[in-house]
């Protein structure tokens, strides 16, 4: 009875207002089309990587947690990197891409942090098509081909951002990058709204280099020798030194152009690691290998720690290779000890 009434009312409205029919049909078609495109996009994104969730999804909380749990002895990195990325990602209209310059000796965790960032931004991490990992000596070995490389690099950057404006570029060994190539990157880091019709302002560039490692060590060592905790070291004392250093460096002309044009947003020092930080790396690796039973085995851990080199000679405060050779050294010590279960097998 009630349904009849509603139907009658509906017919009456339709009868009175013919336009309503077309509006209703139009809406139905729009919804259907939308659903179709939505479905198509869904299927496509099952097969290929897409420039949105879940393939691209910056997770600030897990980035923060990963850096806290996986990186040791780098309080400045934690503060600056997480907040800089968060601010850039949550800004709908950034004026330029985010450019971070990581400095420090090998093994202090520069590549590691870049990987952690990739893992917390892209579902496929470093394997994502929206992440470009450029290693100067590997990708551009032949100095006579520099002009080809310039084009190649430019196209590589352009085509990646064309696919996804939230792309990530990691330049390894930036200090070994020929000046012409650094020059080729420069426009992408700048305050332009578009380059060749592509908007770069939402992408992130990370420049890694060993340069400045000596200066960073000096500052950290002084703090150590004066008996102050390294956690009291502030970013400002390093930034001034690192900027000055990159300016005065021979052949560092292009780098200084990036600096004087304020294209590098943050200089981030990776401090040399003390024995206790290396120990944390050993512990983490043992856990990863399923041998957490050895974490509290002081003899074992000391053997691994003693197989690494330390500097300076006077205090042996810092590990020469940071945490870089920890995995191999731990494996070596693991291989030397007899597996416990072997006895059971033989009995
Ligand atoms: C990043 O993700 C890959 C793949 O899931 C994983 O193997 C790797 O250990 C992760 N790296 C870090 C630094 O967490
Ligand atoms: C910059 O570096 C030069 C040479 O390395 C040095 O003489 C100068 O005092 C430094 N300036 C500052 C502000 O640190």
Q: Is 140 helix (H, G, I), strand (E, B) or coil?
A: coil
Ligand-binding site membership of 105 (annotated) = yes
Contact 281, 72 (CB under 8 A): yes
> What is the helix (H) or strand (E) element at residue 343, kind and residue range?
helix 342-346
Ligand closest in space to the Cα of 288: 1
pLDDT of amino acid 346: 46
Ligand-binding site membership of 104 (annotated) = yes
Ligand-binding site membership of 108 (annotated) = yes
pLDDT of amino acid 136: 83
What six digits make up the tokens of 76?
Answer: 């400045």
Q: Is 185 helix (H, G, I), strand (E, B) or coil?
A: helix
DSSP for 232-299, written as a single string: G--HHHHHHHHHHHHHHSTT-HHHHHHHHTT---EEEE-PPPBHHHHHHHHHHHHHHTT-GGGTT-HH
From first to last of its 347 residues, the chain has per-residue pLDDT tens of 455 555 555 555 555 555 655 666 666 666 666 666 667 677 777 788 888 889 999 999 999 999 999 999 999 998 899 999 999 999 988 999 999 999 999 889 999 999 999 999 999 999 999 999 999 888 888 888 888 888 899 999 999 999 999 999 999 988 888 888 888 888 888 888 788 888 889 999 999 988 888 889 999 999 999 999 999 999 988 888 877 766 666 545 556 677 777 888 998 999 999 999 999 999 999 999 999 999 999 999 999 999 999 999 999 999 999 999 999 999 999 998 866 555 554 44
Contact 306, 138 (CB under 8 A): no
Alpha helix segments (H runs only) across 48-109: 60-70, 75-90
pLDDT of amino acid 85: 96
Whether the CB of 248 sits within 6 Å of ligand 2: yes
Ligand closest in space to the Cα of 113: 1
Q: Note the pTM of the prediction, 2 decimals.
A: 0.83
pLDDT of amino acid 219: 93
The rounded distance, in Å, linking the Cα atoms of 31 and 73 is 54
Contact 72, 277 (CB under 8 A): yes
CA angle centred on 52, ends 158 and 60, rounded to 5°: 100
The burial of 334, by beta-carbon neighbours within 10 Å (0-12 exposed, 13-18 middle, 19 or more buried), is given as: middle
pLDDT of amino acid 9: 54
The rounded distance, in Å, linking the Cα atoms of 290 and 294 is 9
> What is the helix (H) or strand (E) element at residue 85, kind and residue range?
helix 75-90
Whether the CB of 126 sits within 6 Å of ligand 1: no
Contact 210, 269 (CB under 8 A): no
How is domain 60-269 classified at the architecture level of CATH? 3-Layer(aba) Sandwich (3.40)
pLDDT of amino acid 312: 94
Distance 214 CA to ligand 2 centre (A): 14
What ligand 2 atom has the least distance to the C-alpha of 244? 1
Cis peptide before 312 (omega within 30 of 0): yes
pLDDT of amino acid 141: 84
Ligand-binding site membership of 138 (annotated) = no
What six digits make up the tokens of 304?
Answer: 């691994």
Whether the CB of 244 sits within 6 Å of ligand 2: yes
Contact 165, 51 (CB under 8 A): yes
Partners of 103 in beta bridges: 209, 269
Whether the CB of 112 sits within 6 Å of ligand 1: yes
Residue with CA at minimum distance from ligand 1 atom 12: 116
The burial of 195, by beta-carbon neighbours within 10 Å (0-12 exposed, 13-18 middle, 19 or more buried), is given as: middle
Contact 102, 110 (CB under 8 A): yes
Backbone conformation region of residue 284, classed left if phi is above 0, alpha if psi is from -120 to 50, else beta: alpha
pLDDT of amino acid 1: 47
The burial of 326, by beta-carbon neighbours within 10 Å (0-12 exposed, 13-18 middle, 19 or more buried), is given as: buried
């Amino acid at each position: 009875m009630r349904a009849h009434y509603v139907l009658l009312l509906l017919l009456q409205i339709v009868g009175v207002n013919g336009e309503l029919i077309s509006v209703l049909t139009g809406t139905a078609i729009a919804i259907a089309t939308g659903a179709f495109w939505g479905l198509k996009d869904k299927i496509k994104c099952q097969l290929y990587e897409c420039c949105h969730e879940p393939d691209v999804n910056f997770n600030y909380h897990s980035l923060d947690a990963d850096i806290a749990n996986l990186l040791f002895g780098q309080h400045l990195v934690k503060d600056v990197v997480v907040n800089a990325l968060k601010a850039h990602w949550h800004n709908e209209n950034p004026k330029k891409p985010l450019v971070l310059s990581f400095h420090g000796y090998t093994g202090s965790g520069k590549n590691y942090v870049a990987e952690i960032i990739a893992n917390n931004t892209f579902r496929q991490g470093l394997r994502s098509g929206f992440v470009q990992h450029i290693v100067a000596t590997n990708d551009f070995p032949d100095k006579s081909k520099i002009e080809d490389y310039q084009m190649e690099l430019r196209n590589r950057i352009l085509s990646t951002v064309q696919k996804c404006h939230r792309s990530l570029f990691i330049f390894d060994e930036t200090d070994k990058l020929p000046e012409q190539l650094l020059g080729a990157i420069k426009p992408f880091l700048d305050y332009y709204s578009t380059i060749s019709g592509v908007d770069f302002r939402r992408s992130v560039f990370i420049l890694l280099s060993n340069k400045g490692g000596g200066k960073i060590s000096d500052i950290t060592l002084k703090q150590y020798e004066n008996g102050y905790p390294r956690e009291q070291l502030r970013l400002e004392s390093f930034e001034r030194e690192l900027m000055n250093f990159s300016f005065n460096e021979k052949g560092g002309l292009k780098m200084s152009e990036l600096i004087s044009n304020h294209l590098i947003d943050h200089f981030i020092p990776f401090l040399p690691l003390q024995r206790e930080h290396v120990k944390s790396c050993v512990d983490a690796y043992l856990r990863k290998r399923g041998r957490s039973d050895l974490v509290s085995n002081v003899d074992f851990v000391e053997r691994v720690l003693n197989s690494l080199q330390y500097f300076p000679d006077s205090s042996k405060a810092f590990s020469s290779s940071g945490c870089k050779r920890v995995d191999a050294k731990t494996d070596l010590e693991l291989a030397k000890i007899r597996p416990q279960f072997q006895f059971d097998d033989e009995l």
